[in-house]
Every structure is written in C-alpha cells, then in structure tokens.
A and B are shown apart, each in its own frame.
Chain A
Amino acid sequence: MNKTRIRVLVGKPGLDGHDRGAKVIARALRDAGMEVIYSGLHQTPEQLVEAAIQEDVDLIGVSVLSGAHMTIFPRIKELLKEQNAEDILLMGGGTIPEEDIAELIEAGHVEALFTPGATTTEIVSWIRERVKSYE
C-alpha cells in the first residue's frame, strides 16, 4: 500500500506548559513533509489516544518535562492496547533520566525517547525508518 503522508500527533500531556520543544519538533516534522496534528497543552492520555485514533496517525510524539514520564508513557500504551491500536507508535521527548529511559523502553512502554541534544534530523530519520518498517 502506498501511504502518501506520514501523520503524527504531537502533544503535551499533564500540567507543564513548556511547549517550545513540542513546537520545534512539530515544525521540523512539517518541514520533513509530514502532517502534524498539534494537540495543544494539558492533554490527558485519554484525549491523546482518542485524537490519535480519529486522526489515524502513524505515531504519537509526546513531550514531557514535568517528571511524570513514568506514569504518562505506560498509561498511553495501555490505552492504545485497550483500543486495539498498538500499531500506533509512541515516541517521547523531554528531560528524562537515563535509567528511566532504559526502564521505559525495556518494558515496551515507549518506542523511542529523545532527550535534550537530540537533533531534529535524528528524530525525522527514526520516524521514517520505523513507519516504513511496519507497513
């Protein structure tokens, strides 16, 4: 099947209002030819998953700077499973300690995490690689 556009939901769950990072990513993905649905601030995992389903995205990208990553990522994954939508990938970014990254990825709560210093090129090529490989 020829998908013509990669679609990504970029969202900010929880209470932190620092959305510069999310906007930079949204813009970079736009410039890489992807359709980015921007959810805005203060989303619940339920809102993000419902939006991801209705928008039929390939991937959810979530920015977490509040320290709530150990709760938010597993919750989003769980909701995706409940909706039989595990095929939607989950990617995250933000200030997340290395030991937590290892734990989240090993447990399968998230497919990839990018921390400060990651380049947008790196993120774009990761998405292209993953979205292609499961098609």
Chain B
Amino acid sequence: MNKDALDQWLARLFERDRRATAKLISWVEDDIQRAYIMRSVLKETGKQMVVGITGPPGAGKSSLVEALTTLYRSNNERVGIVAVDPSSPYSGGAILGDRIRMQAHGTDRDVFIRSMGTRGHLGGVTRSTSDILRILEGGGYGRLLLETVGVGQSELEIMQMADTVVVVLNPGTGDGIQAIKAGIMEVADVFVINKADLPGAERMKGDIEMMLNLSCDGLGWRPPVVLTSVTNGTGVETLFEKIEAHQTYMKTSGLRDERCKHRLRKQVWRHWEDKLQATFEDVWETAQQKLGDIEKEDPYEVAAALWAERFKGG
C-alpha cells in the first residue's frame, strides 16, 4: 500500500472512523507498514492509561470488562477493549469468544471491542497488543481495557502493557500457599475475587490479605482485594473506584513514568528479538543443508559458528 493511501486511513482514524480504526489494527497485527503507522499514532497518543484484566480461564474477565464498560458508558466515556484468546499451536487458527460476554455493548459505537489471537506469542497477550491499544486511543477511545488470555501462574507480560493490573480469581481455587507463590500474585495492583456469591470468598480474601501483610511494607500502594459478583451485580462499583484510586496513585507517585521507561526498554528489546529471528530464519534455511549427521550436531557449536559467520567483519 502506498504512503498516500495509508496517510488517508490515518487521517480517518483521528476523525474517529471505526473502519479506519479496524483496518489499521489489522495491518499492525499483520506487520504491514507497522512502523510507519505507529510513528503517526504514537505522536498523538500515550496519555490514556490502560487497565489490564488477567486471571485464569473462566474467572469472569470478560464479564467484568463488560460491567466496567457499562460504568464508563454511564459517564459518557468512550471505551476501547482488546480481548486476547489463544491461537492453536497446530493450525495457527483461533476461536475468539470474548465478545459473547460483552453483548450489552454490541451496537454501541462508542465501545470498540477487538478480539485477537495470540499467534504463537506467550505471556498472555500478543506481539502487537500495546500498539493496538494506542490505535484505539488514536480513534478517540479514552478508556482502554486489555483482557488477557486465561492465564496460569506466570504469564506476566501484562505488566508491561497495563498501568493498572487487575488479577481476577475465584473462591475455592487455592489455599494460603497459592497466595504467597511468586508470579501472577505479585503483579496485581488490584485483586478481584469474582463469583464471590460462591462459598469461600471471604476465606480467600483473608489468604490474600495475609500475603499482602507479608509483602507490603506499609509504604506506597497496597493492592486492595475486591469481592465482586457479576451475576448479582455487586462489587463492580468498588472495583471501579479502586482502579481510579490506583491510576491517581500512579500519576502522583511518579510510578507511571517508571513503568513507561520499563515498557520502552521491553519494546525495543522485542524489536531486536524479532529482527534477529528474521535474520536467522534465512540463515538457517541455507545452513541446515550443510549440516552433517543431524543427531550428532552440537547445538552450541552450530549456533556459535552461524553467529560468527553472519556477523563477521562487523
């Protein structure tokens, strides 16, 4: 696509055209003119904060996103949502079903929901998620929500994309030891125990509070633990308030700048990794034909030799 056509699509994005928003997201996701598109988009965006919602499959992430969106809409704020589901490691295809839980906003043009497959990326999000959130911001969506795939214990990349990380858990899914393990429990800015109408919610809250007693030094932000039940409609307003409080804290404490710095570093490194991978995919294509007995090859030596050959002379 030529630059003039692309510039027209970008102009339409900033005029809040939904089709342009959708198309630009696809191109960035498919790595078509990605750097060019993002150069324009990033110039105009970066002010809005991202709320990331993560947690195990079936915890109620999509339902909470829908409930929060309803609150934002009642203040007449426009909401952009990125919802990630896993891609098949075999076919590369995916079934993206997060919209099913967000029906209430299905025809609301001030809510933009975009479903994405992970396309082989681990960490609970996709390679292009943070760029796509900025495109939504460019399209005039001031509230940005990111829902990760259903995660286990260690998909933590959301930390680099969200200013506020909400970890959603359910009652009866672990004892006090689960609560003090490393990983997902450490990255939460706000804990939600959803389906709190089920037995065990208070007990779980107790376990998490105890973990926080051990890890928080009384200074700074202590993650609140919010009980919600989306089916009964309870707790969502409290969650909304806690998210607001955290965002204010991020701005006033200077932590937001810290996270932005960290994010930039990670993004730059990711681009280098992508470049390196692309370079060596070509190298590997030709090199593997020259290898001898595959079973006897030493991967350390092969790697060192190919590296030296590719980068010889600087």
Chain B residues positioned under 8 Å from A37 (CB to CB):
96-97, 99, 115
Chain B residues positioned under 8 Å from A29 (CB to CB):
93
B167 on the A face (CB < 8 A): no
Is the pair B88, A54 in contact by a Cβ cutoff of 8 Å? no
Q: Distance (Å) between the CB of A27 and the closest chain B CB?
A: 7
Is the pair A56, B26 in contact by a Cβ cutoff of 8 Å? yes
| Complex-state Cα separation, A31 to B93, whole angstroms | 6
| CB-contacts of B10-34 with A (<8 A) | 18-19, 21-23, 25-26, 30-32
B40 on the A face (CB < 8 A): no
Q: Binary interface profile of B, 82-119, with partner A (CB < 8 Å = 1, else 0)?
A: 00000110111111110110010011010011110101
Chain A residues positioned under 8 Å from B91 (CB to CB):
30-33
| Complex-state Cα separation, A56 to B96, whole angstroms | 13
Partner pick for B95 among A4, A30, A55, CB 8 A cutoff: A30
A5 with B30, Cβ < 8 A, contacts A38-B95, A53-B22, A54-B22 known: yes
Residue of B nearest to A47 (CB): B106
Interface centre among B18, B30, B93, B109 (most CB of A within 10 A): B93
Q: Distance (Å) between the CB of B139 and the closest chain A CB?
A: 10
Chain A residues positioned under 8 Å from B32 (CB to CB):
1-2
Q: Distance (Å) between the CB of A98 and the closest chain B CB?
A: 31
Chain A residues positioned under 8 Å from B22 (CB to CB):
53-56
A56 with B25, Cβ < 8 A, contacts A5-B30, A51-B106, A84-B19 known: yes
A31 with B88, Cβ < 8 A, contacts A4-B30, A40-B100, A47-B107 known: yes
A85 on the B face (CB < 8 A): yes
Residue of B nearest to A29 (CB): B93
Residue of B nearest to A44 (CB): B107
| Complex-state Cα separation, A44 to B108, whole angstroms | 13
Residue of B nearest to A50 (CB): B107
B291 on the A face (CB < 8 A): no
A55 with B114, Cβ < 8 A, contacts A37-B99, A40-B100, A83-B19 known: yes
Q: Binary interface profile of A, 29-68, with partner B (CB < 8 Å = 1, else 0)?
A: 1111111111110011011001101111000000000000
A89 on the B face (CB < 8 A): no
| Complex-state Cα separation, A54 to B94, whole angstroms | 17
Other A-B pairs, 20, CB within 8 Å; known A5-B119, A38-B100, A56-B22: A1-B1, A1-B32, A4-B31, A26-B95, A30-B88, A30-B93, A30-B94, A35-B96, A36-B96, A37-B97, A38-B97, A38-B99, A40-B100, A47-B103, A50-B107, A50-B109, A51-B113, A54-B21, A55-B22, A55-B114
Across chains A and B, which 5 residue pairs bring their CB atoms closest together, nearest first?
A40-B100, A30-B93, A56-B22, A47-B106, A56-B26
